[in-house]
Structure 1
Amino acid sequence: MANSLTIMTVINWHPLVPLPLITLLAALTLAGLWFLYTHVRTTARFHTLATLLILRAITMVLFIFALAQPLLQHYVTDQHARTVIVAIDTSPSMALPLTNNTTRLQHALTSLAKIQAAFPPTWQWIITPFSDTLYPPQSSPQLTTITTNTYTDISTALEQADRHAVAASAAAILMLSDGGDDPAPPQLTSTTPLVALAVGDHTLPSPDIALTSVIAPATVEKQTTFTIKAHITANGPPLFMQQAAALPLILLRHHADSEPQEIKRLTVDASSGSADANFEVECTELGQNIFTITTPHQPNEKFTVNNHRTIALNVRHSAVEILFYTHQIGADLKFLRQALASDTALRFTALYRSGENQYTIHGDAADSNTLSQGLPTTAEELRRYGALIIGSLPAEAWNAATITALLQYVENGGGLIWLGGENSFSSGGYTDSPLRPLIPWDPPHTGTPLFERGTFPITIAPTSHAATTGLAEMLRNATPAETTALAVTSLNRNGNLLPGALPLLQVTTPHATEPLAVEHRYGRGRIISIASNTTWLWARSSGIPARFYNNFWRQTIRAVSDSSNSSSHLQITWNRDSYRPGDPISIEFHTDTPNRTLRASLITPTGRSALTLDPQSETTWSSHWRHTSHQPTTIEATLEDNSQHLETLSLPIPQALPADESSQLLPNHAAFAHYIKSAGGTATTTPDHTIDALQQATAPQTTLHTFTPFITPWPLLLLALTITIELTLRRRHGLL
């Protein structure tokens, strides 16, 4: 490639004295030269006279220039040939036809040729096809086939193209694509100038069979029947539509170590142009389950990528059984029952004392014989409940059997939520109770009231936890009136938190900021203690306070009842449910005891890499990075105590499936343009606009270099030298 530099020099003046004074000095300089000439011309030889006049002129010019302060500005323009990384979409949807009977890929190649012709022939165009990843560079004539069995991943391709551009010192990235199928890919920012051309029109393939949508619950319970709904469309000539009268639909289940297996088959009639199908399914494996619905391609059907759809859903344990136990019912029971009623994955039962040795049962387990005599007295009986909520009752209300049952239940992994109130925690006499280990804080300091009434605004503790996910954003978006409503009117005062206790919500009191909701561990179980029994006040207010109440309680119950992200001593908290390439991952590691050592790694099919851990407290570390691949990735965390191995917890990163290729047959140019602009680029829809945008993005870069001669010592040395030589000559010839 030819390189070219254009240099232009400009002189600007920054005089130290007014211009009239410099003009006067220049006139005096000329007069001085005339005076010197007339004074020595009769006594000095010609060459001596000429030398003296030149030296005097140099001296005065240097002096005047020093006062005028010339500033030399060199404008250097880099005109060398440019390198452009061309990322061109070769996913299966690029084979779709246009109205002119060409394909989207052919349209992209024709547009690229027109764009290249508008730039100097010395420019280098590195053409890199992409679908779910960026492939090695190829020449344009080779881009005639479509990458099969892939999907379009705009964000991954852009990230890889940006790295390639930086390595090649490229001036710009040019992306040509129909926009893919994901309307909102994970956001990335290109460090190299980016220009994108959207290709494709609204021509649909014909004849064609398409699975246009598949709907299933995001989360289902293990061994519970649910429905996967599919919508199928057909278009084509009459003979083809007759074939669509008996279309087989096949449901496949994916397995990690084998090929997908057929589990159900239906026949639908789409001869009218569309049809619906429902598959009744039951999952027996916990975690992410993946299904594909497919229909065989029909005779004369040229485009078959849209004949299948893949979905993923999360399978969890059966509905969480919750037992609320108290002696006196209050408003908290009413509002808590309402908040949980709409969540089919939570089964709520309330047990409260209605008289001496008499108990009333309300809710899903109202027919349970084990509750007729009060709280079960064995850990085995309590184990049917994923979480227990204990209302405000005094320590003396517990007997030895229920104390032992509760301690064993939590130690073996059961979830417990303590509610505050006048008979809770220290004010309920628990300071010396055998249940004391289930309370996360020391008693309040001497002189501090055990239970206090007032108005105490809440805030979110600066930590990441499943119970408080999304609550901080709610609080930020609340109006002043809604913020005022997010307060409690009763507070159990507490002392120092126990080691390993994690504050989730806080309240502001006249004295300080104190914890309102705190999580800590006992054995394998999780406990969340809430130092108030008036959170139900939030549910009485419309808008954000009511939503805050519902989300907090649902998430809190799930947090204490879910042990899938924890082990005996270690718990991992994610910042979202699933991740796509480009998504930021932010996780926290919590341990139950301070001063332990944690090491964590990412394990992929290609190797292992250590995670950087940032200590947040004596029991909490955080780590942040960007998810980069759809490859199976596992986090492995190892906890040590005094260099002795305690345990290792391995968890897969929950991956979100990419959008199926051609799930959006019609290109969404608006969504593609929004993504490109968000990435810092320019989106275009015609080759002419692309040429204009690319010319602006690759405009020659001009660098300004400035130089002030008289800030260096050399002009002063030259001035001193000329004066010295003049005095020496005049002394030698007797002209002083």
Structure 2
Amino acid sequence: MQVFFEPIWSWPLVILTSLGLVVLVYVTYQAQLKRLPRRQAQLLLTLRMLAVLVLTFAMFRPAIQTSDTDDNPVQLLILADTSRSMNTSDMPGGTSRFSAVRADLTRYEPKWKELGNQVTVRQFDFDRGLAPHNPAATEGTGDQTAFGAVLEDVIRETRDHRSLGLLLLTDGAQRAIPPYDADPLTAARKLGDSQVPIYAVVYGTSSLSTASLDLAVEDLRIDPIVFEKKLVPISCKVRAMGARGKKIRVRVLLEDRTGKRMNESGEFKPAPATYQAQTVKEFEVQGDAETLAVDLSFVPQTAGELKVAIQVESDETELLTRNNRRETIVSVKKGGLNVAYFDQLRPEQSRIRMVNGADKIQLEFQEVRAGRSASQTKLDRSWFEPGRFDVYLIGDVRAEWFGNEILEKLAARVEDGAGLLMIGGLQNFATGGYALTPLADLLPVKMDAADYRPIGKLNPNTQYMGDVKLVPTDRGLKEFVMQLGSSDKNRSLWTNLPALEGATRLRPVNDLVRIWAETADKQPLLLVNDVGKARVAAFGGDSTWLWCLDGKADLHQRFWRQMILWLAKKEADTDQPVWVNVDPRNFAPGSNASILFGARTADGRPAKDTRFEIEVTKPDGQIERPSPRQLNDEHSAEFSATSEPGDYWVRVSARRSGESIPEMAYTRFIVDARDLELDYPSADHDFLKELASVTGGTSLKPEELGSLIERLKQTKYDALTRIQITTLWDNWWLLLTFVGLMSCEWFLRKKAGLV
């Protein structure tokens, strides 16, 4: 321990100043204390002089210096990359990078030990972060390489130990997504400030054009909004590496959603070729590394959201194929949705017709008369011409009232893709003679010709009598048609609806038919199916109008509108009272998706004072509920849980003035399936060179590793002496002493009447 002083000024000046203060205080203070008793005067003078001495002590700024010796061994950190890109076989002799690193670790292990007792060698593995070294590992398994997070871990390892340096054995490619994408250069600068140099040994080549075959679709461009039955151009680029002289084929794929519900993705099928669309192209690759510009086109046949993909067909020798396809979503627009509805004049039809005009649903009603007035019914045959209507609804109408010619035309329209729904009644289905018509092969119910009854005769065997409670099935509750509210309230909304007054007995025609609703005793009530291009349904109820009498008109309208939209394959139509949009439609893993949504009034203006609920269904089926926010008239939400590739389905429901707005809005976006480690596995020599230079280290080749160890062996390390200086003048107790002396002296002077 050593005591030393660092005066505030030069020594002579500080000494003279101190003596001057003592003399000044003594002379001036003596005159003030003459009239006080001697002991009291001496006490006051002593206190004042002690305060001057404390001030003089501070002017000399004394300090105590202590030192101790740190003789702990110096450490050398060796980090081996265990990410999947290290499995790339581009080292001499076709060896993988991972195997080359492990071979070098084994080869130079004796040299680690020769570094001596003063150097401790610590080995680690890394990918997303630092991990204990596993000598038994045979290949890289890490799905990300996060140098920023790894170097932050290294900083913690070097905080309390002297370090000879950090040896990185890696291909040097930073491949990470949030929260693993910390800035590696910032962490490297911290290591440089701590005098921990990075020695980066680079494994792998920066170009893989001759090492392996890889075909990838990049830069897919297509208009986000297109129109039905119009040519849609597509442009993209195809990157071909190691494919010299090979012929490759690029084609357009369209998603087939037949039999799929809202939160399920369909399979891709080749886009149908037409005389105006070019859905396939073939190329011959001329070089080892070539990027080809490809122009394709297709013609969408139906409106709604359409998932499109461009795929380059893989070669049998290609190892990585997940980047051979790039997907996106487009909105296919169409005019108004036209619905033809045939029924008798009964309470059910009057309520169903209320959907007319809403959400561009143009419902045209044809009254079909029975009894003596049957001859007055004249059906317009133009209603059954191709393209006239998107959906046909059949109420309590017998087959003979249509006639064979019209029923054959109706069946042809369904085969063309028009939706078809038959609603419960006393004179339709098998009782009304449909078992022997072309519709028998289209409707999702089994009809027996023996159940036929003449006009005016009822068949009690085909009817439920009394109250019938409509109960959605577990599968039905997940479907667009059966969504009356948010997922946590949907079942209770159905439970609180009034029972139906009877219903038609229905049986599924085969096991492919989906049952979305049933009676309380598990008998089918709502059956749906996909027949070719069309969606068909059968609903046994004919008294949903009772829901309106019970104050549930909004739920009644929602159910029927959603039924019609589903039949027309427009459940994902963006031109609805409640709308939602995600732009762009494709995101990289870990990105933030911005969801925009809102509501419209009947005249198309933004609906104000509206509350929204948002649900995002992830590819694994989990549901997230991001919080909506509002800025002026814009509503939005941010969704960041996008680490898993696949389709993300967004559903938005809304309430205005306490009432639910009919129809929920649906859309989806895609998180591209990317393998961060293997999509572009080239080594990054430049990055490692920059990373090492920031710390005062260097970048080198694997064959130079031995010479580096020899240089490190020549480094001499003496014991580290740590010096600690403790100042005695700028602390709380000195200040407290000075204030205490002055306060005590002032108090005694005041008591003596000198203040």
If the TM-score is normalised by the length of the shorter chain, which range does it land in?
A: 0.3 to 0.5
TM-score normalised by length of structure 1: 0.41
Structure of greater Rg = 2
TM-score normalised by length of structure 2: 0.41
